Amino acid sequence: MFSCNQGGAGRIELGMVSNNKQATWGGRFEEGPSELMQEFSESVSFDMRLAPFDIQGSMAHARMLQKVGLLTEEELTSLENGFTEVMRDIMDGKLKWDPALEDVHMNIEQALTEKTPVAAKLHMGRSRNDQVATDMRLYFRETCLALVDAGLMQTIQVLVELAEDFQEVIIPGYTHLQRAQPVSVAHHFLAYVEMFNRDIGRFLNVYQASTVSPLGSGAIAGTTLPIDREYSADLLDFVSQDGEPLLTTNSMDAVSDRDMFMDFLSACAICGVHISRLAEDLILWNSSEFNFIRLPDAFTTGSSLMPQKKNPDSLELLRGKAARLQGNLQTMLTMVKGLPLTYNRDLQEDKPPVFDSADTLLICLEVLQGTLHGASMNEDACAKAVADPLLLATDLADYLVLRGVPFRQAHHAVGAMVAASEEKNVPLNALSDEDAKGICPELGDDWRDVFDLQRALAAREKVGMPGPNQIAEQIQKWQALVDSFQGDED
């Protein structure tokens, strides 16, 4: 993704305020804004990253103006050449962003004006309102694909690889953070694949919503000039699957709509929750009390005091970043909730949370991938933990059900057997037949066969369960999805 020049300590390089440059609305005013107001109201320090999208939208607008006869072919050529030079200046770091011009749009227009006088004609038939709405739709379209491709699909790939590598490893599954029933590590990792796949769907929904053109909506009520919205939409690939131009159908809504922003931030926040939950599982597994997983040195840190420590800092930071993503969503919801139609200057603040969430989520997914890629399971510790026969207490109740015992009665009987094993300080499957059948006469001589992990998992081969064949099919399915997506990208 495009980024503009930044100075030392992460500060944006802004040019000096130019007193001889009037704002685009300056004709109405006898005095210009104070330097304090300029500093307070500028947005170019963050919306400069929209520069390539702004130029893309302006080029399409210019070509449309030429098509309808508002620009000559020579004027269009002059604008196209000028935009090429401006883009080159931006990429080379030669363009100095001027806060006196407020935003990326006016900075680019001023830079274009220095290349060609035809720039004065470019803004006819549009407003900055529909201009920025168009820029942001182009931004969302590119950013959603980047998050899906480099972020979520790559994360799913790493999780599927882990599931395949450790599909034979069995661990306790937990409810209420108490040991519940045995599951394979693969089943656990694939649960997060399901979550991240739903995240992909949310980002693709935002992508789909972004393929509708607001260009031509003007400030609020369109324009009296003979523009061709369908043509500019087609140039910007705002089209249906059938190739038909897709246009917003209410100019007031088109320039004030921030649903896409909220949907995007919501998708980021939900994805952040999924990352945070996975991080928490891995933090627990990495603790000495669990010891199920070994994390790579490259994504852990030590202690400044205690030399033995190996802290899962990457995972803890991922938990923290999830709160940041949620905060950005809350910022947007609060900003928009009381605004009347149409545009209000409050909406200038809609971009920082979007940009921050996009950047934060992408690096979070990359860090998660790196942490997982270098991780390995401590198979001995996993085997020791899953050897607890209490994990198969429910299987024993199912065994009794198959012998004709009503489930509630079977549940009560197994509970009584567990209490007896605790009283005698022996494992559940080590109770004597006398004690066990004294509690539940319906037990057969083979009741201890229930306490076999391979048998337990083999009995769970229905769809969605952690049986070995089911896990193998799920791994194959998800790998095929990743492969097909990568094929589409190629």
Q: 369-385: per-residue pLDDT in tens?
A: 999 999 999 999 999 99
According to DSSP H, which parts of 169-250 are helical?
Answer: 185-209, 229-235
Mean pLDDT of 434-462: 96
CATH 1.10.275.10 fits 28-124, yes or no: yes
**Residue 20 identity:** N
pLDDT(328) > 70? yes
pLDDT at 27: 60
pLDDT(39) > 90? no
Report the range of poorest mean pLDDT among 24-33, 194-203, 410-419.
Answer: 24-33
Whole-number percent of the chain with pLDDT over 70? 92
Cα(225)–Cα(323) distance, integer angstroms: 47
Q: What is the DSSP letter of 117?
A: G
Q: What SS3 class is residue 294?
A: strand
105 counts as catalytic: no
According to DSSP H, which parts of 351-452 are helical?
Answer: 351-373, 379-386, 393-402, 407-424, 433-439
Structure-block tokens of residue 431: 């109770």
Name the pLDDT band for 306 (thresholds 50, 70, 90): confident
pLDDT at 181: 97
Shortest CA distance to 2 belongs to which of 156, 108, 131, 79? 108
Report the range of poorest mean pLDDT among 35-39, 144-148, 250-254.
Answer: 35-39
pLDDT at 38: 86
Shortest CA distance to 215 belongs to which of 197, 192, 231, 199? 231
Beta bridge partners of 294: 376
**Residue 481 identity:** L
Name the pLDDT band for 489 (thresholds 50, 70, 90): low
Name the pLDDT band for 30 (thresholds 50, 70, 90): low
Point out the catalytic residue in the list 303, 376, 432, 484: 303
pLDDT(89) > 70? yes
pLDDT(33) > 80? no
Q: What SS3 class is residue 453?
A: helix
Name the pLDDT band for 11 (thresholds 50, 70, 90): very low
Mean pLDDT of 413-437: 97
Global pTM reads: 0.91
Name the pLDDT band for 26 (thresholds 50, 70, 90): low
In sign, the C-alpha dihedral spanning 202, 204, 207, 209 is negative
Name the pLDDT band for 458 (thresholds 50, 70, 90): very high
Q: 460-481: per-residue pLDDT in tens?
A: 999 999 999 999 999 999 999 9
Point out the catalytic residue in the list 34, 176, 288, 304: 176
Mean pLDDT of 275-298: 96
Mean pLDDT of 161-189: 97
Q: Could you state, in order of their start, the residue ranges of all structural domains in the chain?
A: 28-124, 130-384
Cα(205)–Cα(222) distance, integer angstroms: 27
pLDDT at 295: 94
pLDDT(25) > 60? no
Cα(44)–Cα(99) distance, integer angstroms: 6
176 counts as catalytic: yes
In sign, the C-alpha dihedral spanning 329, 334, 337, 341 is negative
Q: Cα-atom radius of gyration of the chain, to the nearest Å?
A: 30
Helical (H) or strand (E) element with 174:
strand 170-175
Alpha carbon distances (Å) from 196 to 47, 147, 486: 29, 11, 16
Name the pLDDT band for 18 (thresholds 50, 70, 90): very low
Tally of CA atoms within 13 A in the half-sphere of 406 that contains its CB = 3
pLDDT(22) > 80? no
- CATH number assigned to the domain covering 130-384: 1.20.200.10
pLDDT at 1: 41
Mean pLDDT of 132-159: 97
**Residue 171 identity:** I
Burial class (CB in 10 A: 0-12, 13-18, 19+), 482: middle
* b/e code 110-142 from CB counts within 10 Å (16+ = b): bbbeebbebbebbbebbbbbbbbbbbbbbbbbb
Q: 384-409: per-residue pLDDT in tens?
A: 999 999 999 999 999 999 999 999 99
Shortest CA distance to 320 belongs to which of 367, 352, 285? 367
